[in-house]
């Protein structure tokens, strides 16, 4: 009897440990969305929550047909492919947090998204190139009186943004190359006239990574 009780106690402890572990897992899964994006995430997921409440559906027991109906109504109303993608991802995550099979995994949902893309193709707005006039406006903004003499009181973000855009414009450099620049890669040279010499190391167009001679 004593040995049987000890086995039962041990079994009970294992169940308790498993239960605690699952609770901990749910907690960490709930933290999968960063606080910085939580507000937008909640706003998107509320579309599904409100849909379920209005139609007396189980929020975490819905079928793929019911989810397809919700996604399709959102697509018809907003005509935003990115929004239905975000909504589907939010539903998937909420089911995952509760360790439940999500209706988003059904093949019908992937077929539905193919129909969204075919019926509502997304057109991208062309980005206009930076011009000298735009750069002048950037500089005027930087050197406003409120930013102090020589813009020294302006934020680091503003300085970095204007510096990066200026570099991209004057060097035709790629963003990926410019963001990797270090102070040692930029040198002020006075001969034959004052200018900056910028060394892009390992750039896509730098086939041989040769440093310029002094």
Q: Which helix (H) or strand (E) holds 186?
A: strand 186-189
Q: Is 15 a domain residue?
A: no
Residue of 194, 192, 196 lying closest to 171 (CA atoms): 196
Within a 10 A sphere around the Cβ of 16, how many other Cβ atoms?
Answer: 10
Q: To 5 degrees, how large is the angle CA 207–CA 213–CA 214? A: 145
137 or 179: whose pLDDT is higher?
Answer: 137
Give the model's pLDDT for residue 179: 79
Residue 7 above 50 pLDDT? no
Q: What is the pLDDT of residues 181-202, one digit of tens each?
A: 888 888 888 888 888 888 877 6
**CATH classification of the domain holding 69:** 1.10.150.130
Residue finishing a domain among 94, 119, 144: 119
Enter the DSSP assignment of 115. Answer: H
**Structural domain harbouring 111:** 32-119
Q: What is the pLDDT of residues 128-162, one digit of tens each?
A: 788 889 899 989 888 888 888 888 888 888 888 88
pLDDT band at residue 126 using 50, 70 and 90 as cut-offs: low
Within a 10 A sphere around the Cβ of 90, how many other Cβ atoms?
Answer: 22
Domain count across the chain: 2
Within a 10 A sphere around the Cβ of 155, how many other Cβ atoms?
Answer: 10
115 or 34: whose pLDDT is higher?
Answer: 115
Kindly state whether residues 142 and 188 are assigned to the same domain: yes
Q: Is 102 a domain residue?
A: yes
Backbone conformation region of residue 197, classed left if phi is above 0, alpha if psi is from -120 to 50, else beta: beta
Q: Is 36 a domain residue?
A: yes
Residue 159 burial (10 A CB sphere; 0-12, 13-18, 19+):
middle
As a whole number of Å, the CA-based R_g of the chain is 28
Instruction: Please enumerate in sequence order all residues whose Cβ is within 8 A of that of 99, keeping only pairs 6 or more positions apart, or say none.
Output: 22, 25, 26, 29
The tokens describing 195, both together, are 């200018």
SS3 of residue 154 by DSSP: coil
Q: Which helix (H) or strand (E) holds 196?
A: strand 195-198
Kindly state whether residues 38 and 114 are assigned to the same domain: yes
Residue 211 above 70 pLDDT? no
Kindly state whether residues 100 and 42 are assigned to the same domain: yes
Give the model's pLDDT for residue 36: 62
């Amino acid at each position: 009897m004593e040995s049987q009780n000890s086995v039962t106690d041990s079994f009970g402890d294992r169940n308790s440990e498993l239960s605690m572990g699952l609770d901990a897992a749910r907690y960490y899964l709930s933290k999968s969305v960063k606080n910085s994006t939580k507000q937008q995430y909640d706003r998107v997921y509320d579309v599904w929550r409100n849909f379920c409440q209005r139609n007396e559906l189980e929020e975490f027991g819905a079928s793929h047909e019911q989810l397809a109906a919700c996604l399709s109504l959102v697509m018809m109303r907003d005509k935003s492919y990115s929004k239905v993608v975000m909504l589907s991802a939010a539903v998937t995550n909420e089911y995952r947090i509760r360790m439940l099979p999500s209706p988003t995994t059904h093949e019908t949902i992937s077929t539905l998204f193919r129909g969204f893309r075919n019926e509502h193709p997304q057109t991208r707005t062309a980005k206009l190139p930076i011009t000298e006039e735009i750069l002048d406006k950037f500089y005027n903004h930087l050197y406003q009186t409120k930013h102090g003499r020589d813009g020294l009181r302006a934020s680091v973000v503003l300085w970095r943004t204007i510096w990066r855009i200026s570099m991209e414009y004057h060097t035709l450099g790629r963003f990926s190359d410019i963001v990797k620049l270090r102070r040692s890669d930029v040198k002020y040279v006075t001969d034959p006239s004052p200018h900056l010499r910028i060394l892009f190391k390992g750039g896509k167009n730098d086939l041989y990574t040769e440093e310029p001679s002094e």
